[in-house]
Amino acid sequence: MMDCGFNDYPEPEVPRSCRSARGRGPITKRWEGNRKHSCEILASVAGNLLEKGDNSLHTDASCGKNLHDACDSVISKKEVDEGQFLNEELLELGSSLEKAFGCNPGFQSFCNPDKFNSEINPMSKDFRRSGLLNSNKKKAFDDSNFVPDVIGGKVLGVPERKVEAEPTELRNQSVKDKTMTVTCGLEDLMKLEGKQPELVGPGCNVHTASVRVVSRDDDESSFGSAYPSTMVKALGPPLGTGNKRIKKISDSSHWRVAPDVDGNYSSTDGKVKEVCCEERIGYTQENTQKIYPFKKRKFFNQDFSTSNRGSNRDGTFDSSDKRINGKQGTAAIGGSSSMTGQHVFPNSKECNVKLSIKSFKVPELLIDIPTTETVGSLKRMVMDAVTSILGEGLHVGILVQGKKVKDDNKTLVQTGISQYNKHSNLGFILEPEHSQTATSPFTKNESLLSRIKSQALTRHSVSLSGSVESDFNATPALGDNLSNNTNNESKALIPVPRISMEALAVVPFHRKSGHHEYLKRRIRRPFSVSEVEALVRAVEKLGTGRWRDVKFHAFDNAKHRTYVDLKDKWKTLVHTARISPQQRRGEPVPQGLLDRVLAAQATGHIGSRNKRPK
């Protein structure tokens, strides 16, 4: 995978759409080409345009739309597969294109509409009419002067420096330079400091100008959007398409405060921040401001973030993983240098430090809630609390050997963050803006204060602290610090603030066995008969094709049923109704319902027709 590049890809396949699907004949209605194909096409287009220096391109949103969408959506893709890599390259191209043509966002502006539609864009009618879609794609490209170099999977048209040089350089650099993996544990910090822990978290680089942040989207398991957004702010808005990507990354993650496998209330399993300090990014001679997040992920996540436990080729992650888990709360900091074998001179400009901070834990979050409250309000409560912890403005502290580094101008080497110090302890903390004062951000939050109490729980309340406290036992340093801070005024009247000051230890997250870290699939929730009944009734009323309405009418409060789900269910219902009862599986649907399904299906869009006649 490390050697992946355009050159390494085999000859493009004929898109699926060009073949027959399941022997039912060619699909002409839609272009079903895969992303790989998209990428090759785009790469070809880009290569040609870049080569020609043609920046007098027509802007045609329609022809670029889907490629743009595709590129954009790739960012949220988790799979590290061929397709993704291609798409990363694709995005890389986008970056080059933006610089070359100043067009932005995405790829909406670099297509020559005529050429694109007739020769390149398989989605266009012109293209289909041209017959190229149904012929061998290689030949199509062969015959097209516009796209000469995709053959053999090699895109020569794209200037090498744009596509290949940069990843190559990055890769080489990663390999030959000293790298260090640092993970942080609250316990370390506390042991080192012997004082009250503070918010520990990512963001170690926000004060450093030359570093870049990688934020991987890990869905609901993410520790929270607060971090990505913090990062974004710290780095400034990315250019062009990056904006949207970052937004997506931020949007897609949210808090989850739920017991993990150990029963700890934590927001673990998933969030990985990788921070890379890179002095020289050999991208192009042009000033390259932008490195897409995916890129970092691509080139670095093999070190520590790929989730396939034990499947890492280089074993880097595994070793660190064992170390982390084995020590249960001791220093999860260490050098990871299996990729490297050399020493780095402290003064060397080649020195890179690779930092990996995995997930966070809320050490104590006691909820005081009447038993009559709903689960939903409990969730909201926890959400509020956690969000508030991070929402009040944090800054980042760095601890080396237990000492807080205050001078932001020191270099990492001067500070002792280097390969030579890989056995030393390095910690990152997120602290409240006014951690010095007794007043905490929470004093502003009446509702929170009224709801969440730190220590003594009101009688009649439901304590959720059990698991949390047991968690404390696993992190004795925290407990010590709690008692050590008895005289801290924050304990006196408003215990809650201490949450903010203690909170959010960086902990090694416990990957759930067999659970892929990302690309999480929703749990399967078969429709019950009553749900089917509701669905059928709604469709009978509204007709097919109005799934959003169906959702509102019949499944408005079933948040786990999206209108797509309903549409899919209807699809399977229709199928079920058409097959013999012997072939049906799952909970049997009453034949009467199935009959109604068929009837409603036959009626089709009658509902829509009523709504919008003619």
Partner DNA sequence: CTTAGGG
Partner DNA sequence: CCCTAAG
Q: Determine if 602 is a binding residue for DNA (CB under 7 A).
A: no
State how far the Cα of 390 lies from the Cα of 222, in Å rounded to an integer.
14
Write out the two tokens for 174: 């990663």
Residues 93-152 that bind DNA (CB under 7 A): 123
User: What ranges in 31-179 are assigned the alpha helix state H?
Assistant: 35-52, 61-74, 82-101, 113-115, 125-130, 137-143, 160, 166-176
Cβ nearer to DNA, comparing 285 with 557: 557
Residue with tokens 């989605």: 123
Cβ nearer to DNA, comparing 195 with 552: 552
Q: Determine if 524 is a binding residue for DNA (CB under 7 A).
A: yes
Cβ nearer to DNA, comparing 349 with 525: 525
Q: Determine if 30 is a binding residue for DNA (CB under 7 A).
A: yes
Write out the two tokens for 287: 């000033």
Taking CA atoms, 468 is separated from 279, 330, 365, 454, in Å, by 42, 18, 7, 12
Task: Choose, by CB under 7 A, the member of 563, 574, 584, 598 that binds DNA.
Answer: 563
Q: Determine if 27 is a binding residue for DNA (CB under 7 A).
A: yes
Binding segment for DNA (CB under 7 A), chosen from 27-35, 47-55, 92-100, 139-147, is 27-35
Task: Choose, by CB under 7 A, the member of 58, 571, 578, 611 that binds DNA.
Answer: 571
Task: Choose, by CB under 7 A, the member of 61, 519, 529, 579 that binds DNA.
Answer: 519
Binding segment for DNA (CB under 7 A), chosen from 111-119, 179-187, 522-530, 594-602, is 522-530
- Least distance in angstroms from the C-beta of 86 to DNA: 11
State how far the Cα of 185 lies from the Cα of 225, in Å rounded to an integer.
21
State how far the Cα of 425 lies from the Cα of 408, in Å rounded to an integer.
18
Which of 421, 419, 358 has its CA nearest to residue 214?
A: 358
Tell whether omega for the bond before 105 is within 30 degrees of 0, i.e. cis. Answer: yes
Task: Choose, by CB under 7 A, the member of 216, 361, 453, 567 that binds DNA.
Answer: 567
DSSP sequence for 324-363: HHHHTSS--B----TT------TT-TT---EEEEEEEE--
Q: Determine if 518 is a binding residue for DNA (CB under 7 A).
A: no
- Secondary structure class of 138 (helix, strand, coil): helix
Count the residues of the shown chain that bind DNA, applying the rule CB under 7 A.
Answer: 36
| Polymer length in residues for the chain | 614
Q: Determine if 546 is a binding residue for DNA (CB under 7 A).
A: yes
Q: Determine if 63 is a binding residue for DNA (CB under 7 A).
A: no
- Least distance in angstroms from the C-beta of 547 to DNA: 4
Cβ nearer to DNA, comparing 16 with 395: 16
Residue with tokens 């409060």: 557
3 state SS for 63-95 = HHHHHHHHHHHHCCCCCCCHHHHHHHHHHHHHH
Q: Determine if 612 is a binding residue for DNA (CB under 7 A).
A: no
Task: Choose, by CB under 7 A, the member of 5, 15, 35, 133 that binds DNA.
Answer: 35
Binding segment for DNA (CB under 7 A), chosen from 287-295, 353-361, 506-514, 541-549, is 541-549
- Give the CA dihedral 141, 142, 148, 153, nearest 10 degrees: 70
- Least distance in angstroms from the C-beta of 586 to DNA: 12
Write out the two tokens for 305: 């973030």
State how far the Cα of 216 lies from the Cα of 222, in Å rounded to an integer.
9
Write out the two tokens for 442: 């929470």
Q: Determine if 544 is a binding residue for DNA (CB under 7 A).
A: yes
Binding segment for DNA (CB under 7 A), chosen from 21-29, 272-280, 296-304, 386-394, is 21-29
Q: Determine if 365 is a binding residue for DNA (CB under 7 A).
A: no
Binding segment for DNA (CB under 7 A), chosen from 19-27, 165-173, 189-197, 323-331, is 19-27
**Binding-residue pattern over the window 161 to 200 for DNA, x denoting contact by CB under 7 A:** ----------------------------------------
Cβ nearer to DNA, comparing 80 with 186: 80
Write out the two tokens for 89: 């390259």
Q: Determine if 38 is a binding residue for DNA (CB under 7 A).
A: yes
Report the phi/psi class of residue 416: left, alpha or beta, with left for phi > 0 and alpha for psi in -120 to 50: left
**Which stretches of the chain bind DNA, using CB under 7 A?**
16, 21-22, 27, 30-32, 35, 38, 66, 69-70, 73, 77, 123, 519, 521-525, 544-549, 560, 563-565, 567-568, 571-572, 605
